Structure 1
Amino acid sequence: MINLGGENDKKEVKVGTAIKGDERMRLFKLLTDYVDIFAWTYQDMPGLDSNIVEHRLPLIPEYPPIKQKLRRMKPEVSLKIKEEVKKQLDAGFLAVAKYPQWVANIVPVPKKDGKVRMCVDYRDLNRASPKDDFPLPHIDVLVDNTAQHAFFSFMDGFSGYNQIKMASEDMEKTTFITSWGTFCYKVMPFGLKNAGATYQRAMVTLFHDMMHKEIEVYVDDMIAKSRTGAEHITNLQKLFERLRKYKLRLNPAKCTFGVKSGKLLGFVVSEKGIEVDPDKVRAILEMPAPSTEKEVRGFLGRLNYIARFISQLTATCNPIFKLLRKSQPMVWNEDCQKAFEKIKQYLQEPPILVPPVPGRPLILYMSVLDESMGCVLGQHDASGKKEQAIYYLSKKFTDCEMRYSLLERTCCALAWVARRLRQYMLSHTTWLVSKMDPIKYIFGKPALTGRIARWKMLMSEYDIIYVTQKAVKGSALAEYLAHQPIEDYQSMQCEFPDEDIMTLFDEEESINEEKWTLLFDGASNALGHGIGTVLISPKNQFIPFTARLDFDCTNNVAEYEACAMGIVAALEFKAKVLEVYGDSALVVHQLKEITFQHIPREDNQLADALATLSSMFKISQGNEVPLIRIQNRDQPAYCQAVEEEPDGRPWFYDIKRYIKDKEYPPSASANDKKTLRRLAMGFFLNGDVLYKRNHDMVLLRCVDAIEAKKIVEEVHEGSFGTHMNGHVMARKILRSGYYWLTMESDCCNHVRKCHKCQTYADNIHAPPTPLNVLAAPWPFSMWGMDVIGPIEPKARYQGDLSYYICLCLMNLWVVYWGNMMLLGRKSKQFII
């Protein structure tokens, strides 16, 4: 404590011991020079200028004025109210009200020192006032911006609301009644509906250029922050100058300057990070077990305020949450008591959270259970070796969400987490880490439908990258998993033919982009012999193959055949590195040059199902389908005729290179890289061909400018071209399975330049021509004729290759004639 006044007139303020030496002397001098910004009595408050801010009370016309009658009070309480009214009258806060339209009563609230706080019951007036939508700061954001600074100064306004004046026409609406008369406020009183919004608006007006930089403001609480002591004194001087200019006064009893840590809105901020207020933790630890619904809600409400510090809050307190159900009786059982004690034990050593550092990716650990989910958001420290927790989050699924599959629950949980942690994830790249989590397949799946497609669209604005966690190394993850019991873990069930997700291994390895994986299996039973293989690309694309063997063999021979078929398929896809997995120890241990690994049968379900299905498929003997001879080119046909782009790079070059090699353009900025990653989520690379994912589960092959020109010409005026308009032609090309960025505009431009369309097309402004029914006036007057043939094999009796078919349009009389050749004298005679 230091005294800013004389010996007889002490004016003390609190100063921390963190600032020492010359800087401490500079701080003492600064406080002495600006002693006028503090108010020790109501008379020291001149109030803010009305030109800057004043409080108004607009009313909804439908609400009539209400005058409350004087309530009865104890004489001693009435005398204390009289003393408080006299004090505020002397300070100039009150005026005598005559003939008011609105009258409210006093609600006395006892103080610790024996006095009473004079509160006014403005509930009737608040119902008639519209809501002021000026926002208050988010507490999480404000606390994050304040933490991890070296020096703090915590300040509070002296009777803050009373420093803002009421509009003269609205003073009478604040009238309250006492045994000593009716009075109205000349300054903004406590208890009004929009008082907090008005005060926050005034603070933003005064300090908008300093907020989130040198200071943080939440209504009447102000916090100055800095990295060094010299910087802190400079910031305080700038703040004091602003306070003196606008005549805003501080309460010296609630101010502390130059400290290393302090309480802020229920939390403790310091250079280490963010901690829970010990007083709030103590209040929870000293609570007895709740016995009524009101006490249960009070306990859960206290936990909810510090929920960002508690790992797996929803899963731990699930028995207590169930007590709030309408169908659940209020019985505090053993499960509730265990959850109650577990939360208390956890809060005895709560974690220290840190705000995120710009420029570093975030790490999101997430687990999904049957009834709830939990996650922790973290970030590496400056050394890159230790992880620090930022936010713990948990959620209880609704009854509808509990019926989702594991994949859908995971997507639902991730979408909810992204919305709750939006302020963090929008500004950072987020690494998603979740062991055995099917969410990683969603980012690379070509086409999605239903709820998963909608959730993926919501997540597309975030830069989320799935990262495999090989070992638990970070402290944030260790704390998170320590509070998740092992019995809560739920493995994923993979059942054929659900091909969305297939779990392969108990421990996942880092994805090698050059490595292909092969699973094979053979089946031999009484119905036949079949083989099945599943080829998995480096991008986790599952390519199944199955075949039925037309010769008798043992199960081991079928295993060899399945392995051989899978290796041939891998060679056709130009796989360079191949890992083969099978459940046959005989096959796996025969070869040494290729990596073969034996896995349990339950991990080889897809290949086993393919082999079993092919062995059960019946083929009728003697009715074989003739073989069709197909010549296979070394390259696809369209690649032979495609010319190079003028610059040698198509429009999808950067997207394709990123999907294939995870490479960015050389001069790409951070925003360009983020945009490229989001664009790449809408494309799918199969081999060397890039496809665009369409919303109706159709993959559209991406074409360059030369290919696009050839496609437009062929569709518009080729062999089957009908010279359609540009928009219809663009939709037809989409249905045919092709895509490029400027498809619709290119089609419209081509139609405008088409000579035949401009010459022979109908006038777009001409009315449509009426259609007439085609009818024959008498029998055999009008005929329809067509040719059928050549026919292979020839007709059984006559050996004719082709036929003329004639149909009378009047009575549908049919006449036909067949011959080896339709051209010649006999053909002319038949027609005549």
Structure 2
Amino acid sequence: MPGISPDIISHRLSVNPAVRPVRQKRRAYDPERYEAMKAEVDRLSSIRFIREVDYPTWLANVVMVRKPRKGWRMCVDYTNLNRACPKDSFPLPRIDQLVDATAGHALLSFMDAYSGYNQIFMHPEDQAHTSFITDRGLYCYKVMPFGLKNAGATYQRLVNHLFAPLIGSTMEVYVDDMLVKSRTADQHIPNLSAMFTILKQYKMRLNPTKCAFGVASGKFLGFMISQRGIEANPEKIQAILDMTIPKTVKDIQSLTGRVAALTRFISKATDRCAPFFKALKGTKRNITWTAECETAFSELKEYMGRAPLLSTPEHGDILVIYLSVSASAVSSVLIRLKDNAEHPVHYVSKAMQDAEVRYPDVEKLAFALVVSARRLRPYFQAHTIHVLTNQPLRQVLQKPETSGRLVKWAIELGEFDIHYKPRPAMRGQAVADFLSEFTEPQAPAATQLITEPNPSLSQDQTPTKNTLDLTQPLWTLFVDGSSNAQGCGAGIVLVSPDKVALEYALRFKFQASNNEAEYEALLAGLRLAKEMDARQIQIFSDSQLVVHQVNQDFTAKDASMTAYLQHARHLLATFHAHSIRQVPRSENSHADALARLASALEQGTGRHIHIEFLAQPSTQAPLICTIDHSPTWMDPILQFLQNQTLPADPAEARRVRHRSAQEGHYVLREIHEGICGNHSGARSLAHKAIRQGYFWPSLHTDAQTFTQKCDKCQRFANIPQLPAEPLTAMVSPWPFAQWGLDLIGPMPEGKGQVKYAVVAVDYFTKWAEAEALATITAARIESFVWQNIPILSPMARSKP
């Protein structure tokens, strides 16, 4: 086979010379593999793909892999060689863009090169690096073999160069997968002719068994392409439909991996797989397959049995996007409008992590739009996008004063042409899952209450669930907290079994976060229900954090949240039965309005609502004044101040005999300049006062201040770091009038056995003269002076 001319391209390895070459030891194989290896080596030698090599620096082993149908495939283990080669950053085309550019054409032709990699020659200097060992000898590749690092990038570089005039218009190429497309049947023959002309010019060969010409549909890069649009690969769909119920962690990982390969076709894929992800949590090898997992598995199979057909947008089309937010994920679908019908283009789904789950609802919707823009960036750049939403998404993103992340998102979305439109009536089955923008989790039935028949039940134990006894009175509590710049408050609505609603607004006289305000509302409501002698109570709150922490779905990590949670569980333990669940804010509007009223400024509201005030957080322990008259640590001090009586214990007496700052000044003066004073320093003065039994909190500071203001110390004390006599500068009257002479050494011995040096420096100009010496003698020094400063030296002027 001729192959591509090396003048056009050849594969270079660029092996890092700093990496030590590796010669692998020969592995042993069974006779069947040896026979297959011998036949493959003979075939490659006959077509001149390999040659024998002597003394290779790199040597790899052969790996025989069984083919799916029959026979063996010979591969070479280039693991060590690949580690020594740098990564080639030549870009590969995006598969999604190639598939979109191919769908919608009338006729397609699929081509595959015959041993595509082997049609590119190795660079002569790198051929020996591809050496491999067999039982018959050592061989190396003359052409680019499979398994080499950067081989795909080299092949993509070749096809981009060969088919540059055709790529994007009549042809698409991804490494060795080539496709010719035509909008009409009449154009297909000329398009194929142009492609074959290039193949003939560069002597590239095709594999006729893997080519299909002039077909209406076919498989390209794992997708089924036709004029109708893009369909999922039937083999991948069948792989999901044929799966049995997973029994191990590996089985669930296999299921989620197969779903990930088809996520473009699956509406709300993250929500559909949420039970599987929940089953994977933990370290158990075997999983617990719940009824929720079984339902999700059946629904997934049913959905994949009718996987949607995706459309491809054309130039100038306006695309529409629907957003949806669930309890744990954000999803979207990109829609193309054609013939007054909605055709899906791409489904996007992402699980929310950590803080993302606690975003406000509108911010979650904005987050869904940002995720869609990142995943579908080519569509957002090429088309005008209409976001269909009934939420004030545009106002939130255009005025993002309340959140720093909204500013970042608004800047990120600013490069796209995005318009916000109200949602019309849904017209297509493809967007049936996006009927509601916010999908709340299913709440438990109202008749399921958490009961704690044992009042001494530990707070750390998980309560049990029993059926509500409807013969007993049931109270209903709605709570909501509010925290803003104006203040903090809580709203409570307690409904009796007789349907009498009690409104209760509570304003805080302390600062609280929004979560703390939600907990305060719950605690206040429970206290109110307890005063009303409620035995069974069902609680509704729009705070996801409070509800899930009380139900032990979330863990309270913050110290404040832990204290509130313990207090809430303590109050809940006083009821015979209780339940708490999260409801949308729209269903908790009564308590929400009361909370906003309580947290607002104290102004006239036009409504007679009694507002009470909470002075301190519910978790703060009350202060208790003791009435115990037992002896305390203050008694000896009081006795000394009142009666000048010291304790009998000398150590205790020394601690009691503390002085005030005014009395301490007298003590310092007596110790510093009294009869026995010696005007000691501040540190010594403070230590002497302590040794005499005196102490007050500012003793050291007062001692330092006193010594700094002492007149005699300032006049006659020694000044630190002052020289013993005044410094005088050495003055030279004119250049070269006065020289300094010095000897240096011994130093490392140099040429001529010199290891000393004599240096002369002029004091006025700093001019330096130096000479190396082997020995230090008077004659050598005199010679240096006469040779280097013979005229300006004082000795030179005094010589007769």
Fold shared by both chains (TM-score > 0.5): yes
- Unmatched runs of 5 consecutive residues or more in structure 2: 445-478, 487-502, 507-585, 606-800
State the one-letter code of the partner of 1:470: P
- CA spacing shift, 1:236–1:609, aligned 2, 3 Å: same
Matched, 1:63 2:32: no
Q: Secondary structure at the match of 1:193?
A: coil
Equivalent in the alignment of 1:305: 261
Once the two structures are superposed, the pairs formed by residues 122-521 of structure 1 within 5 Å of their partners are: 122-326=78-282, 330-334=286-290, 335-381=292-338, 383=339, 385-435=340-390, 437-445=391-399, 447-478=401-432, 480-481=434-435
After the TM superposition, which of the residue ranges 98-107 and 113-122 deviates more from structure 2?
113-122
C-alpha distance in structure 1 between counterparts of 2:97 and 2:18, whole Å = 39
C-alpha distance in structure 2 between counterparts of 1:187 and 1:489, whole Å = 65
* Residues 766-818 of structure 1: per-residue CA shift (max 9 Å, x gap): xxxxxxxxxxxxxxxxxxxxxxxxxxxxxxxxxxxxxxxxxxxxxxxxxxxxx
* Residue pair 2:325, 2:438 contacting (<8 A) in 1 also: no
C-alpha distance in structure 1 between counterparts of 2:271 and 2:342, whole Å = 24
After the TM superposition, which of the residue ranges 411-420 and 258-267 deviates more from structure 2?
411-420
- CA spacing shift, 1:191–1:611, aligned 2, 3 Å: closer
Equivalent in the alignment of 1:588: none
Deviation at 1:324, TM superposition (A): 3.8
Once the two structures are superposed, the pairs formed by residues 776-795 of structure 1 within 5 Å of their partners are: none
C-alpha distance in structure 1 between counterparts of 2:307 and 2:64, whole Å = 38
C-alpha distance in structure 2 between counterparts of 1:326 and 1:600, whole Å = 35
C-alpha distance in structure 2 between counterparts of 1:367 and 1:485, whole Å = 7
* Residue pair 2:24, 2:61 contacting (<8 A) in 1 also: yes
Q: Secondary structure at the match of 2:37?
A: helix
Question: 36, 45, 63: which one pairs with 1:80?
Answer: 36
* Residue pair 2:397, 2:406 contacting (<8 A) in 1 also: no
Once the two structures are superposed, the pairs formed by residues 603-642 of structure 1 within 5 Å of their partners are: none
C-alpha distance in structure 2 between counterparts of 1:459 and 1:498, whole Å = 28
Deviation at 1:320, TM superposition (A): 1.1
C-alpha distance in structure 1 between counterparts of 2:409 and 2:480, whole Å = 22
C-alpha distance in structure 2 between counterparts of 1:498 and 1:264, whole Å = 56
Q: Secondary structure at the match of 2:243?
A: coil
Q: Secondary structure at the match of 2:8?
A: coil
Q: How many residues align?
A: 476
* Residue pair 2:505, 2:595 contacting (<8 A) in 1 also: no
Deviation at 1:325, TM superposition (A): 3.5
* Residue pair 1:66, 1:101 contacting (<8 A) in 2 also: yes
* Residue pair 1:367, 1:434 contacting (<8 A) in 2 also: no
* Residues 733-759 of structure 1: per-residue CA shift (max 9 Å, x gap): xxxxxxxxxxxxxxxxxxxxxxxxxxx
* Residue pair 1:525, 1:615 contacting (<8 A) in 2 also: no
- Unmatched runs of 5 consecutive residues or more in structure 1: 1-44, 501-523, 528-598, 619-832
Point out the structure with max Rg over C-alpha: 2
State the one-letter code of the partner of 2:341: K
C-alpha distance in structure 1 between counterparts of 2:480 and 2:410, whole Å = 22
C-alpha distance in structure 2 between counterparts of 1:82 and 1:170, whole Å = 24
RMSD of the alignment, in Å?
3.3
Q: Secondary structure at the match of 1:197?
A: helix
- CA spacing shift, 1:395–1:240, aligned 2, 3 Å: same
TM-score, normalization by structure 2: 0.56
* Residues 327-357 of structure 1: per-residue CA shift (max 9 Å, x gap): 5764141222322222111110100001112
Q: Secondary structure at the match of 2:255?
A: helix
TM-score, normalization by structure 1: 0.54
* Residue pair 1:323, 1:330 contacting (<8 A) in 2 also: no
C-alpha distance in structure 2 between counterparts of 1:327 and 1:85, whole Å = 48
Deviation at 1:319, TM superposition (A): 1.6
Once the two structures are superposed, the pairs formed by residues 568-647 of structure 1 within 5 Å of their partners are: 602=589
* Residue pair 1:311, 1:483 contacting (<8 A) in 2 also: no
C-alpha distance in structure 1 between counterparts of 2:375 and 2:248, whole Å = 31
Deviation at 1:290, TM superposition (A): 2.7
Equivalent in the alignment of 2:608: none
* Residue pair 1:47, 1:165 contacting (<8 A) in 2 also: yes
C-alpha distance in structure 1 between counterparts of 2:107 and 2:53, whole Å = 48
* Residue pair 1:312, 1:483 contacting (<8 A) in 2 also: no
* Residue pair 1:155, 1:251 contacting (<8 A) in 2 also: yes
Deviation at 1:135, TM superposition (A): 1.2
C-alpha distance in structure 2 between counterparts of 1:376 and 1:229, whole Å = 33
Deviation at 1:410, TM superposition (A): 2.4
* Residue pair 1:369, 1:488 contacting (<8 A) in 2 also: no
Deviation at 1:451, TM superposition (A): 1.3
State the one-letter code of the partner of 1:426: Q
The alignment-based identity, stated in percent, is 43
* Residues 628-660 of structure 1: per-residue CA shift (max 9 Å, x gap): xxxxxxxxxxxxxxxxxxxxxxxxxxxxxxxxx
State the one-letter code of the partner of 2:125: E
- CA spacing shift, 1:162–1:483, aligned 2, 3 Å: farther
* Residue pair 2:326, 2:440 contacting (<8 A) in 1 also: no
Q: Higher relative CO (CA 8 A, sep ≥ 6), structure 1 or 2?
A: 1
- CA spacing shift, 1:140–1:181, aligned 2, 3 Å: same
* Residue pair 1:101, 1:173 contacting (<8 A) in 2 also: yes
Deviation at 1:470, TM superposition (A): 3.0
C-alpha distance in structure 1 between counterparts of 2:359 and 2:97, whole Å = 33
Question: 38, 51, 54: which one pairs with 1:98?
Answer: 54
State the one-letter code of the partner of 1:141: Q
Equivalent in the alignment of 1:515: none
- CA spacing shift, 1:609–1:187, aligned 2, 3 Å: closer
C-alpha distance in structure 2 between counterparts of 1:525 and 1:87, whole Å = 90
